[in-house]
Amino acid sequence: MRKNNSFIYIIPILFLLGTAIYCPANAQKKQESYRDIFGYWQEYILNSGAKEKTSIRKITLNTEGNLTQSITYEMAPQCRIWLNDDDISFKNGRLDFWGGEFSGEMSDDKNSVLLTYKQMSNPFLLERIRDKKTIELIDRIEASQGKEYAYYILEQTGDGWECVNLEDLGLNKKSMIDCVNQIRKGKYKDIHSLLIVKNGKLAFEEYFGAEGTLWSPFLNQVLRDRIQMLASVTKSVNSALIGIAVEKGIFPSIQDPAFELFPEYAPLLDAEKNKILIEHLLTMSAGLEWNELDVPYSDPQNDVNQIIPKDWVKDSTRIQIKKTLGGYGYQWWMRSFKAHGKLIDAYYALGRAGQFIMVFPALDLIVVSTAQNYDYGWSTRFYNLVHKYILQAVMPVSKN
């Protein structure tokens, strides 16, 4: 006698039907609860009544139906772009980022959120964006995802740089395409920009978002004029300014005691400190306690006038303090790269987290990059990029 098992099969069918009915209803309910926070938001930091723009956020649902910041365009203190930050919640008018680290209540009119950040005393304000141009900007940045990289000749912007095809200067285009593709795969982490000047002409200029993974021609236009923190690159700029000031007689000799520049600190002066010269400050060898990295510029002039004295250029890019790999001049670093069996000397400004202005005088080549890589090894990664891709592009292997 065979048993009737129909009831056994009915149970899972009823369960599936119930789930099918419940899931859309639950998703719709969740979407309704998030409706007030959906959209585009301008973030400000409030300081004594003044409002300073800090970022733009687009808040929506991800593919799983959960709340997300699909794009965050950070405008200050420097420009960065983030994608798909899901660490956000909104319930009963309260908005929380990062587990409550950054949180606040929505206004009654649903057009603003006053936020507090646990690590800062200043409050923040989100205001709903209705400006069509700003909304279009964010949507176009977001649409840059997945764009395939293709090298293109830079537009002339009237900023004083002559833009040319890199191949017209003898650079290998494939090497630079490979370089960008590796950046976009995340090999060099959060690189923001990479520029190459050859023979005084701008041949390569690319900008990146979302830790190097986001690129498009439109993104280049957006990020080109944005502020970037340069850290100790500023030291090298100061060195150049001191050279100009010395030549003009505005600044004393770098062989003078440094304390002469700070008469207000005369009570702190003693015989040993009086031995510290301005030159010691330029070479970071004053004997004062600080952290030094273990880790040139060519002959700066415009079309008519020498901007920085030639002797200063020579002295400041000459090794004054020897290091394990290269050395240090007057606030400029120096090292050599090996390419095709040759040693190529470079002088460069170096700033924390990946800020570089690197010059190869023998190649009439300048490489500029900005980044935000605070992990160990950020400088080594960039040296690798220069060696593996840029020098290979500039010094292609001979076919003979």
Domain boundaries of the chain, sorted by first residue: 34-142, 233-351
State the angle between helix axes of 378-385 and 173-184 in degrees (0 to 180), rounded to the nearest 10: 150
308 token code pair: 């920085």
361 Cβ contact list (under 8 Å, min separation 6): 296, 298, 299, 345, 347
394 Cβ contact list (under 8 Å, min separation 6): 170, 171, 172, 198, 360, 363, 365
Q: Please give the pLDDT value at position 340.
A: 84
Give 286-338 pLDDT, tens digit per residue. Answer: 766 555 444 344 555 555 566 788 888 888 899 988 887 789 999 999 999 99
Q: What is the CATH number of domain 34-142?
A: 2.40.128
Upper half-sphere CA count for residue 171 (Cβ side, 13 Å): 27
Q: Which residue has the tokens 């992990």?
A: 375
73 Cβ contact list (under 8 Å, min separation 6): 55, 56, 57, 79, 81, 138, 141
63 token code pair: 């593919």
Low-confidence ranges of the chain (pLDDT < 50): 1-3, 14, 22, 292-297
Q: Please give the pLDDT value at position 29.
A: 65
Show contacts of 324-327: CB within 8 Å, 24+ apart.
324/294, 325/295
SS3 295: coil
The verdict on whether omega for the bond into residue 77 sits within 30 degrees of 0, i.e. cis, is yes
137 Cβ contact list (under 8 Å, min separation 6): 222
Q: Please give the pLDDT value at position 9.
A: 55
Q: Are 259 and 265 in contact (CB under 8 A)?
A: yes
CB atoms within 10 A of CB 156: 11
Q: Please give the pLDDT value at position 131.
A: 95
